[in-house]
Amino acid sequence: MKNFIAVGNVITVVAPAAVTSGQGMLVGSMFGVAARDAASGAEVELNLTGVFDLPKAASQAWTVGQRVYWDSTAKVATNVVGTNTLIGVATIPVGGTAGETTGRVRLNGSF
């Protein structure tokens, strides 16, 4: 096909803020995980799909398949809708104690 550009699972974007490899970031209405470190204003590859361990809001229990959102202010995944952006679903259960601050998320690649 002459007009095919790429699969689109990973795209290159300009980082709106400094980012480290593996960190989640929202660029406009796209959410992804940075493939490498990048300074603010530099190009960085953003993984839009896949399963990633992400920092999550403390004291939240997650169930498998539960919708997960990105809180761009706190820079954590959360199960609270509010004004947060839907990024995917939880793939493993996680407890709700204050020390459980990582959740496994399958990114949905949507915007």
Give the pLDDT confidence score for residue 35 in this predicted structure: 97
Strand partners, 89: 67, 106
pTM: 0.92
- What is the rounded average pLDDT for all residues in the chain? 95
DSSP state, 62? B
Give the pLDDT confidence score for residue 25 in this predicted structure: 95
Q: Specify whether the CB–CB gap between 27 and 44 falls below 8 A.
A: no
- Strand runs (DSSP E) across 2-100, as ranges? 10-14, 24-27, 30-34, 43-47, 49-55, 67-71, 76-78, 85-90
